[in-house]
């Protein structure tokens, strides 16, 4: 599944996403928690640094930019310095703020966090001070906001509603936005406020409540996956949703479709430093995927990865696509996923190269896999971060003037045996007499070959060197080769060597009989 998700990440494109919600300025005051104050029994924090970041719906927009989406931010800030800080941070990130209004009757919401280190260890939050209003937007401001929202719908592929309960996502604004977006076939994903209030979200594509929000929205305590499934079915039925994502922190995401089908998409355990921003990251990832037409189950899987990467950091950070790809690569893969066609291989290699990995490729028939092959492939894998094994197809082997009964094993069997090796990351079959075309497509950083080759004898050398790659012979395992194995089988067969009509063969291709 990891390799499939890498393909999904590679195909996301750069859709335009409209974000409506409550913008927040997150301010962090970092310092050393040195001692207890003499004035009162409280920790004395010696300030070392102050940092401001976009929070709430502004954080969702910022995270979407980190994921390479084109983003329009719609909402309201106060006519104050903090509001300008939020706006400018979004503009600097490349967010379109033409639908971001200024309302002098309300302050910009600010969450000020104090983080202290004790004995130079990881910082921990000590206190949070909020400045906010939860009053709904005035009718005049709400009407102006709706005008901007309708204009933005003409050029977006998804709408995200990030409701932090600060008054921007009024029932009237939310209902009209959902109705108009759905009439245009645009998916709408809603992240509810902590109150769990979802009554004004009827007709949305999906919602992303956590355990507590789900409990408050449905009246059902969420203690396990079955509780989440039941709640998801209730939400889909009462709100007319296509599907519901109930986020279960370290247990993953419970996905329920409108037809009642449910599944738990688990996440792997991580070292959690700070859960701040994890919900925003999940919403951003789901929104980006929905805009690109990704299936709901894959949306949940990618959201698990993105949210997991978020909690591994202190404070709110943006997660990039290459970080998601790298995390998926660390998650392992099945043998079946290793065997792929050329188009998939190119996408996968591009994804790996984007994370800084060194790509190694080797090629051959691998018709009789033996210990010499295993050792050489292990050595080849150690030359980089990803080993691609390209094998000649059955037709290709017959075209190389091997014996009539070659290959001994079909290309499917050979690919399966190679994929079972831990050292091998990908297996691809090619039909041509030489790997030249494949090398031009994949462009490995290093081409290696096992056997008694010199550097200039390796087929495809000129292709790899032409784009700045390297070529390296790997040598042989003394006394172990396909030739010697076949000879031993002949000698030990009942009736003598003639009883096994294997052709004379060598591990080293006969280049004189190859085109090119």
Alpha helix (H) residue ranges in 154-224 = 171-183, 211-218
Average pLDDT over residues 279-285: 93
Dump pLDDT digits (tens) for 326-347: 888 876 566 677 898 998 899 8
Cα 463 from Cα 429, distance rounded (Å): 19
Cα 345 from Cα 442, distance rounded (Å): 8
C-alpha separations of 474 from 236, 377, 414, 455, 458 in Å: 59, 9, 21, 10, 11
Of 210, 207, 201, nearest in space to 233 by CA: 207
Of 233, 234, 383, 249, nearest in space to 311 by CA: 249
Question: Can you give the pLDDT at residue 480?
Answer: 58
Cis peptide before 407 (omega within 30 of 0): yes
CATH number for the 335-513 domain, one of 3.40.50.620, 3.90.1150.10, 3.30.1360.120, 3.40.50.720?
3.40.50.620
Q: Is the pLDDT of residue 64 over 80?
A: yes
Dump pLDDT digits (tens) for 432-448: 989 999 999 999 999 99
Cα 86 from Cα 22, distance rounded (Å): 12
Element (DSSP H or E) covering residue 388: strand 386-392
pLDDT band for position 514 (50/70/90)? very low
Specify the DSSP class assigned to residue 94.
T
Cα 64 from Cα 61, distance rounded (Å): 5
Q: Is the pLDDT of residue 368 over 90?
A: no
Residue spans of the domains in the chain: they are 2-330, 335-513
Question: Can you give the pLDDT at residue 109?
Answer: 97
Side by side, the strands of the sheet bearing 386-392 are 426-430, 386-392, 359-364, 446-450, 470-475
Residue 98, judged by CB atoms within 10 A of its CB (0-12, 13-18, 19+), counts as exposed
Query: Of the given ranges (76-80, 246-250, 466-470), which has the lowest mean pLDDT?
Result: 246-250
Which is more confident, 137 or 355? Answer: 137
Average pLDDT over residues 360-387: 90
Q: Where are the beta strands (DSSP E) in 467-513?
A: 470-475
Beta bridge partners of 372: none
Which is more confident, 81 or 401? Answer: 81
Of 74, 65, 67, nearest in space to 23 by CA: 74
Length of the chain: 516
Share of the chain above pLDDT 70, in %: 85
pLDDT band for position 503 (50/70/90)? very low
Question: Can you give the pLDDT at residue 83?
Answer: 96
Q: Is the pLDDT of residue 382 over 70?
A: yes
pTM here? 0.75
Dump pLDDT digits (tens) for 291-321: 999 999 999 999 999 988 876 665 667 888 8
| Contact of 125 with 111, CB cutoff 8 Å | no
User: Same CATH topology for 2-330 and 335-513?
Assistant: no
Q: Is the pLDDT of residue 511 over 60?
A: no
**Crossing angle of helices 296-311/2-10, nearest 10°?**
90
Q: Is the pLDDT of residue 507 over 50?
A: no
CATH number for the 2-330 domain, one of 1.50.10.100, 3.40.1190.20, 3.50.50.60, 1.10.730.10?
3.40.1190.20
- Beta strand pairing call for 70-78 and 158-162: unpaired
Query: Of the given ranges (159-163, 192-196, 350-354), which has the lowest mean pLDDT?
Result: 350-354
pLDDT band for position 502 (50/70/90)? very low
pLDDT band for position 325 (50/70/90)? confident
Share of the chain above pLDDT 90, in %: 60
Cα 473 from Cα 296, distance rounded (Å): 46
Which is more confident, 407 or 85? Answer: 85
**Active centre residues (catalytic):** 280
Side by side, the strands of the sheet bearing 23-36 are 43-56, 23-36, 109-117, 124-131
Question: Can you give the pLDDT at residue 313?
Answer: 63
- As a whole number, the mean pLDDT across the chain is 87
């Amino acid at each position: 599944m990891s390799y499939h998700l890498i393909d999904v990440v590679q195909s996301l494109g750069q859709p335009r996403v409209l974000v409506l919600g409550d913008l927040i300025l997150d301010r962090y005051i970092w310092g050393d928690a040195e001692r207890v104050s003499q004035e009162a029994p409280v920790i004395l924090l010696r300030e070392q640094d102050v940092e401001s970041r976009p929070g709430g719906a502004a954080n969702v927009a910022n995270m979407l930019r980190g994921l390479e989406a084109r983003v329009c931010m719609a909402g309201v800030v106060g006519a104050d310095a903090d509001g300008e800080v939020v706006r400018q941070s979004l503009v600097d990130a490349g967010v379109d703020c033409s639908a971001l209004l200024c309302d002098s009757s309300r302050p910009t919401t600010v969450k000020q966090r104090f983080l202290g280190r004790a004995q130079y260890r990881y910082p921990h939050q000590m206190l949070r001070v909020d400045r906010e209003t939860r009053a709904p937007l005035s009718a005049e401001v709400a009407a102006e906001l709706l005008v901007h929202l309708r204009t933005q719908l003409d050029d977006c592929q998804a709408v995200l509603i990030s409701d932090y309960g600060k008054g921007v996502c009024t029932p009237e604004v939310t209902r009209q936005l959902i109705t108009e977006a759905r009439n245009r076939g645009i998916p709408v994903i809603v992240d509810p406020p902590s109150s769990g209030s979802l009554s004004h979200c009827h007709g949305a594509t999906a919602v992303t409540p956590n355990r507590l929000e789900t409990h408050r929205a449905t009246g059902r305590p969420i203690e396990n996956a079955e509780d989440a499934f039941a709640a998801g079915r209730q939400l889909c039925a009462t709100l007319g949703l296509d599907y519901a994502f109930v986020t279960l922190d370290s247990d993953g995401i419970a996905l329920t479709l409108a037809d009642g089908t449910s599944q738990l998409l688990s996440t792997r355990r991580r070292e959690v430093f700070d859960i701040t921003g994890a919900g925003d990251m999940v919403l951003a990832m789901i929104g980006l995927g929905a805009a690109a037409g990704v299936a709901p189950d894959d949306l949940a899987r990618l959201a698990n990865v993105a949210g997991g990467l978020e909690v591994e950091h202190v404070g709110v950070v943006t997660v990039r696509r290459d970080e998601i790809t790298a995390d998926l690569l660390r998650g392992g893969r099945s043998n079946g996923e290793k065997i792929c066609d050329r188009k998939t291989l190119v996408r996968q290699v591009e994804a790996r190269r984007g994370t800084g990995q060194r790509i190694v490729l080797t090629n051959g028939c691998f018709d009789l896999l033996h210990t010499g092959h295993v050792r050489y492939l292990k050595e080849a894998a150690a030359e980089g971060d990803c080993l691609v094994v390209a094998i000649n197809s059955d037709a290709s082997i017959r075209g190389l003037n091997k014996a009539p009964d070659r290959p001994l094993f079909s290309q499917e069997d050979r690919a399966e045996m190679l994929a079972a090796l831990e050292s091998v990351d990908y297996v691809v079959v090619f039909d041509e007499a030489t790997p030249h075309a494949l090398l031009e497509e994949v462009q490995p950083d290093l081409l290696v070959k096992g056997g008694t080759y010199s550097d200039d004898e390796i087929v495809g050398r000129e292709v790899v060197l032409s784009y700045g790659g390297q070529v390296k012979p790997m040598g042989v395992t003394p006394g172990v080769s396909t030739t010697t194995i076949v000879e031993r089988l002949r000698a030990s067969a009942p009736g003598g060597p003639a009883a096994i009509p294997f052709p004379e063969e060598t591990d080293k291709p006969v280049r004189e009989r190859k085109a090119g």
